[in-house]
Amino acid sequence: MPSDPIRLALLALPLFALGFGAGALRALGRREGLPPERRRRYQLAWVLLLLVGGPTWLVLAAVLRLW
């Protein structure tokens, strides 16, 4: 883990943004009145955002030497 607070923020803030985005997609998908197909799309989107976005950011952060 980086000891510099700025580097730590550069590492952690995108992960928080990914989590916030995934939570927003999950909340959108749980609204009443959505067609089942759209609900499934939202469910797929928030899961993929976490499963793909998190590791992708960590690899990119390692390449950029933020880690």
Model pLDDT for residues 15-61, shown as the tens digit of each residue: 999 999 999 999 999 999 999 999 999 999 999 999 999 999 999 99
Distance CA 41, CA 23 (A): 14
Query: Tell me, what DSSP letter sits at residue 64?
Result: T
- Residue 1's pLDDT is what? 66
Task: Give the 3-state secondary structure of residue 21.
Answer: helix
Residue 6 confidence (pLDDT) above 70: yes
Of the pLDDT bands very low, low, confident and very high (cuts 50, 70, 90), residue 7 is: confident
Q: φ and ψ at 4, to 5 degrees?
A: -75, 125
**pTM, entire model:** 0.83
- Residues 37, 58: contact at Cβ < 8 Å? no
